Amino acid sequence: MSETQDLIESKRIRAIFNSRENVQEIKHYLKQQDLTGLDGRSTYRRALETYVQELYPVCQKAERGNEYWNAVDFGTVVVGPDSLKGKVRNPTSKYYQLQGFGSLIEHPDPYTAEFRVKKTIGFGRRVEETEVVKEQPTFSQLNTIFLTTDKFLEEVGLGLELQEDKDPASI
C-alpha cells in the first residue's frame, strides 16, 4: 500500500473508533439517566446511524459486508395505536423490518403511522382526528445492532484494534 492509502486507511479506522466510542458514551449516559423512552432511543439511534455510516466503506469491501449491511435480521419495529386515547378507526399497526445495518439509515426517523381517532370532547361532542404515532427500535434492538458491528469488525480484522487500543491517536 502507498503512504497515501495507509493514511486514508488510518483515518478511516480512527473515524470508526471515534464513532464507536461516541455510541458507547451516549448509550451509557442514556442508561444512567434512565432515558430509555422514545427520546433516548432516538438519540441512541442517531449515534448508531453515524457509526454504521462509517462502516459502510468497510462493508462494501468485506466478503460478508453486503450480508451485514442488508440481510442480518434485527427484528421488527411495530408502530401501533396502543398509546392513543379514543376509538381508533383504523387500528392496523405498521411494521418496519430491521434488515442489516443499512436499515437504520434507509428507514424513516422516527418510524411513524397515522391513525384516525374518534374522541369525545367537552359536553359529549364527538370529533375525529388524525393522530401520528412515533416509534424507534427498542433499546435491546439497538444494542443488538451495536454488538453485531463488533462481530463484523472482528471478522474483517479490526475488532482487536478497537477493543485493545483505547488511544485513537495510536491507530
Q: 138 lies in which domain range?
A: 3-170
Which segments in the chain show pLDDT lower than 50?
163-171
pLDDT value of position 160: 52
C-alpha 92/C-alpha 78 separation (Å) is 10
Q: What was the pLDDT predicted at 83?
A: 83
Distance CA 153, CA 65 (A): 10
Block residue for cell numbers 474483517: 156
Q: Which residue has the cell 427520546?
A: 39
Distance (Å, rounded) from C-alpha 52 to C-alpha 69? 9
Record the pTM. Answer: 0.86
CA distances from 159 to 26, 122, 140, 148 (A): 20, 61, 22, 11
In the block, which residue shows the cell 448509550?
27
148: helix, strand or coil: helix
How high is the pLDDT of residue 165? 43
Burial environment of residue 68 by CB neighbours within 10 A (0 to 12, 13 to 18, 19 or more):
buried
The x, y and z cell numbers of residue 41, run together, are: 432511543
Q: Is 63 helix (H, G, I), strand (E, B) or coil?
A: coil
In the prediction, which pLDDT does 161 show?
A: 53
Q: According to the model, what pLDDT value does residue 145 have?
A: 98
Count of domains for the chain: 1
For residue 101, what is its C-alpha cell? 445495518
Is residue 117 within 8 Å of 86, Cβ to Cβ?
A: yes
